[in-house]
Amino acid sequence: MMDAGTVSVNIPATQMTSTAHVLQRIEDLTVQPEQRARGVVDQRSGTIVIGEDVRISRVAVAQGNLTLRIQEKPEVVQPNPFSSGTSIVVPRTSASIDQAPGKGLAEISGGTSLSSVVAGLNALGVAPHDMIDILKSINAAGALHAEFLVR
């Protein structure tokens, strides 16, 4: 299993004459590891801390009389002609939350950031303990892509 502290090197793919030559070439390389996505909630105090890299897969959510709609529509951005730039995909997220009875389940599209979900819930005035229950359910469904700690 790979983790943030492990680097895997495929020695035969380097086409070097020996392992020592490969290690000599890579030993001084600087590697910038990505930070692990993490969310932490404290049930007693109602504190919720979420890293910016936390993402949610497609999932449906219903909590009391709340309806949650999150849509992620990626858009390809092209560089100017004859520039040496490359095309990139930019996320375009729209979020809406309704507080009305009888709405049923709400669907959250894949790739949505957890911070946009929480921002929408905050705008409605959802209590932190209800928000924690929603986040725990999303995590239990396997839709939360992060290390999720509940204290």
Q: Let me know if residue 89 belongs to a domain.
A: yes
Residue 65 burial (10 A CB sphere; 0-12, 13-18, 19+): exposed
Is the separation of the CB atoms in 88 and 77 below 8 Å? yes
Q: Quote the number of domains for the chain.
A: 1
23 is a domain residue: no
Residue 6 lies in a domain: no
Residue 58 sits in which domain range? 33-150
Give the torsion sign (CA, 30, 31, 35, 36).
negative
For 3-38, b/e burial (b = at least 16 CB within 10 A) is eeeeeeeeeeeeeeeeeeebeeeeeeeeeeeeeebe
Q: Is 112 among the domain residues?
A: yes
User: Domain for residue 12, yes or no?
Assistant: no
Q: Residue 115 and residue 103: Cα distance in Å, rounded? A: 23
* pTM, two decimal places: 0.52
Q: What is the pLDDT along the chain (151 residues), one digit of tens a residue?
A: 456 667 777 777 667 778 888 888 888 888 776 777 888 888 888 888 888 788 887 776 766 666 566 566 677 888 888 887 888 887 766 655 666 554 444 555 556 777 777 776 776 677 788 888 888 888 888 888 888 888 8
